[in-house]
Structure 1
Amino acid sequence: MSTTTPPAPSRLTRANTWPWAVAATAFVALMCAAGFRSAPGVLIDPLHMEFGWSHSEISSAVSVNLVLYGVISPFAAALMERFGMRRVVAAGLLLVAAGSGLTVFVQTTWQLVLLWGVCIGVGTGATALAFVATVTGRWFVRHRGLVSGVLTAAQSAGGLVFLPLMAWLASTHGWRPASLVVTAGALLVVPLVVFLLRDRPSDVGIVALGAEPVPPHAPPAVVVRPAGGAVRQALDALRDASRTGVFWLLAGSFAICGATTVGLVNTHFVPAAHDHGMPATTAAGLLAVVGIFDVAGTIASGWFTDRVDPRYLLLAYYLFRGLSLAILPLLLGPAATPPIWAFIVFYGLDWVATVPPTVALAREHFGDRAPIVFGWIFASHQVGSAIAAFGAGLLRDTTGSYTSAWLTAGGLCAGAAVLSLLVPRWAPRT
């Protein structure tokens, strides 16, 4: 007869509830951070009209934002290892609130770069996708791919919630009220993070969802904090990872991912559609619909990542994305016609579906250091985003249209598909 004492019902309830509570809190923080980052897409034209700044000048602030958002990510992951997720995420949200609130006083482009670029870029970097890798790595063994997809989809949900509101505010009341909405949103999320986000399952006396339960009389788990500061941890992880071909293949493909989503479409779709006679509010609404379908597409991608070789998923995602971008110049017009709706639905399903398989490949190849290494991979994503954000604005200023930007992005996606397929097969799960 077995003498094992079954876990108490209250302990089972806590063990099953806390991981999902942490994931839900992370979802809200990521969703709001995405909303904050979506602001530039609807504010470029109002700033251009009020101050006379060129598209490339305004896009330079967006580029700084995108670069810092990515570069801060691995350091934020290391800081989370040292000080905890709760402190890092709360501090990042407060910085976003300060940067966005002070933006209403800008009079020169350098002030825009400082606030929109530096403050908000650093603040949102605390809730970058390395945060997703940290949450899923610590709190989930079962359903990791699915949860990665859900949390990644939060970024699209942020655009869905904030974009139409900010576009309406910018067109009816000016861009300053739209910027203040970001400030209010960031401040409202801070208490939720402080009270509900927990750093590790051991903090509440449980194990990660799907992990082997701890025997009743086992001593408490000891969390070993990495030696050295966060900067050293992040740089050491980069040094070691950069000696592998896998890192550069993932970083290269993910840089193209950023260039063809956040950098190009998220930043320039609204002004590009406006060039074709479409009202800015209609274009912002279409971009928000991308968020609706991206939620479904990214969650589905997480589910597939638990079952299908991630390399093949990335191959398909990049090839179809490139095709859709190459034909976009033929679809844009003054009205939301069925062809442009077809693009929005298709592109939405593919928007950040690349994240769950990329996170999975990083985890399999880099183990416990995966959150920090993925932070560096994500930094490449944002470098690609920044180059595309500035480059597309420059092309618009010099050629008078965005056509060459869309075609270039289509070709880059084909290259990303090849890079993904070259990643070595990952070790089988045990």
Structure 2
Amino acid sequence: MNPSVPVAPRQRIPKLAPKSMFYGWVVVGVAVIAVLMTAGSRAAPGALLVDMERSTGWSTSTLSIAASISLVMYGVGGPLAAFVMSRIGLRLTTVMSLLLAAVSFLFSARTESLWSFYLWFGFGAGLASGLIASVLGATIANRWFVDRRGLVTGIFGASTSAGLLVFFPFFTALAANSGWRRSLEIGAVLLIATAVPAAWLMRDSPADVGLAPYGGSPEPTRAPDRGLFRRAVRRPEFWLLAGTFMVCGVTSNGLVGQHFIAHATEHGFAEVTAANWL
């Protein structure tokens, strides 16, 4: 039995969308695919590094600058996403992020200059993935669910890891067979394809489809607590969490994710084999 409480007629549920379940699960399903795709795009720098270096003649250190810019923008995208979502909503933010990632991949695939490569592969793709990869899941879990909130948060966390798990070997195999430029073009097509169901099915809140949160009742909209961050930075727990996440990101994404495949090939491993191990 659906534990949500209807608060208005349900005509606002999109046509052809499932109506036999709480609509929040539809939003979760679409958002999980979007998070998986944008988080998976984070695999591109490490997965394509060997073929990029081979085909362009650019050095590993030169190409790694783009990856470093991408990581920084990925981090910047988190707090920026909260601001953007509060202004234009979850659906538009998600679609915008997916399209920005697609455009960045397409322009990166056609670039011949380093400054253009840094702009699109570094700033554009990094910001696009950061806009939803770390914030969207928590926002959906809190807006759409009272019961099962922990489950939903866990699902989104798993989708981020699954994106890397799937796209490291996927991009590496494509680059080995078709080149890194074609790999980015295929990635752009997949991102655009993901934007279609996001635009069609995602909704910003249960009220948009005439429902209350799963397991809860309608709550009055509260203004954001603008002093929350200032209070948080005064707490040592905040810096402990921030520091541990920074170490995790630098080591897993910045060092291992970026350089493992290239390092493994120097020791005689095939690129796809190294990607599968990673």
User: Do they fold alike, i.e. is TM over 0.5?
Assistant: yes
The match for 2:128 is: 123
Shift of 1:18: 1.1
The match for 2:275 is: 284
Q: Is the 8 A contact 1:69 1:125 kept in 2?
A: yes
Q: Let me know the Cα RMSD of the aligned residues.
A: 2.4
The match for 2:140 is: 135
Partner AA of 1:242 in structure 2: V
Q: Is the 8 A contact 1:43 1:170 kept in 2?
A: yes
Partner AA of 2:221 in structure 1: V
Shift of 1:105: 1.9
Q: Is the 8 A contact 2:6 2:212 kept in 1?
A: no
Count matched residues: 266
The match for 1:422 is: none
Structure-to-structure mapping, 1:265-284, within 5 angstroms: 265-284=256-275
Identity of aligned residues (%): 38
Answer yes or no: is 1:155 the counterpart of 2:160: yes
SS at match of 1:126: helix
Partner AA of 1:280 in structure 2: E
Structure-to-structure mapping, 1:317-332, within 5 angstroms: none
**1:146–1:260: structure 2 CA closer, same or farther, 3 Å change rule?**
farther
Query: Which of the residues 108, 112, 120 maps onto 1:107?
Result: 112
Answer yes or no: is 1:89 the counterpart of 2:94: yes
Query: Which of the residues 17, 22, 26 maps onto 2:22?
Result: 17
Q: Hey, what's the Cα distance between the residues in 2 that align with 1:100 and 1:206?
A: 38
Q: Hey, what's the Cα distance between the residues in 2 that align with 1:56 and 1:149?
A: 36
Structure-to-structure mapping, 1:29-428, within 5 angstroms: 29-211=34-216, 213=217, 222-224=220-222, 226=224, 237-287=228-278
Shift of 1:15: 9.3
Partner AA of 1:169 in structure 2: L
Higher relative contact order (CA 8 A, sep 6+): 2
The match for 2:14 is: none
Shift of 1:111: 1.7
SS at match of 1:206: coil
Shift of 1:273: 1.7
Q: Is the 8 A contact 2:22 2:214 kept in 1?
A: no
The match for 1:334 is: none
Q: Is the 8 A contact 1:16 1:209 kept in 2?
A: no
Q: Hey, what's the Cα distance between the residues in 2 that align with 1:7 and 1:96?
A: 36
Partner AA of 1:261 in structure 2: S
The match for 1:408 is: none
* 1:335-357 deviation line (CA, Å, top 9, x unaligned): xxxxxxxxxxxxxxxxxxxxxxx
Q: Hey, what's the Cα distance between the residues in 2 that align with 1:85 and 1:117?
A: 24
* 1:301-331 deviation line (CA, Å, top 9, x unaligned): xxxxxxxxxxxxxxxxxxxxxxxxxxxxxxx
Partner AA of 1:185 in structure 2: L
SS at match of 2:268: coil
Partner AA of 1:264 in structure 2: L
Q: Hey, what's the Cα distance between the residues in 2 that align with 1:277 and 1:37?
A: 25
* 1:43-65 deviation line (CA, Å, top 9, x unaligned): 11111112222212111101111
* 1:140-180 deviation line (CA, Å, top 9, x unaligned): 22222222121111122223333333212211221111010
* 1:180-220 deviation line (CA, Å, top 9, x unaligned): 01110110011111111111112112222222x45xxxxxx
Q: Is the 8 A contact 1:69 1:124 kept in 2?
A: yes
Q: Is the 8 A contact 1:15 1:209 kept in 2?
A: no
Shift of 1:126: 1.6
* 1:395-425 deviation line (CA, Å, top 9, x unaligned): xxxxxxxxxxxxxxxxxxxxxxxxxxxxxxx
More helix by share: 1
Partner AA of 1:223 in structure 2: T
Q: Please report the TM-score for the alignment, with normalisation by the length of structure 1.
A: 0.58
Q: Hey, what's the Cα distance between the residues in 2 that align with 1:208 and 1:261?
A: 36
**1:84–1:98: structure 2 CA closer, same or farther, 3 Å change rule?**
same
Q: Hey, what's the Cα distance between the residues in 2 that align with 1:189 and 1:265?
A: 28
The match for 2:15 is: none
Q: Hey, what's the Cα distance between the residues in 1 that align with 2:36 and 2:106?
A: 19
Shift of 1:14: 5.9
Q: Hey, what's the Cα distance between the residues in 2 that align with 1:179 and 1:82?
A: 31
Shift of 1:255: 0.6
**1:7–1:73: structure 2 CA closer, same or farther, 3 Å change rule?**
closer
Q: Hey, what's the Cα distance between the residues in 2 that align with 1:240 and 1:22?
A: 32
Partner AA of 1:201 in structure 2: P
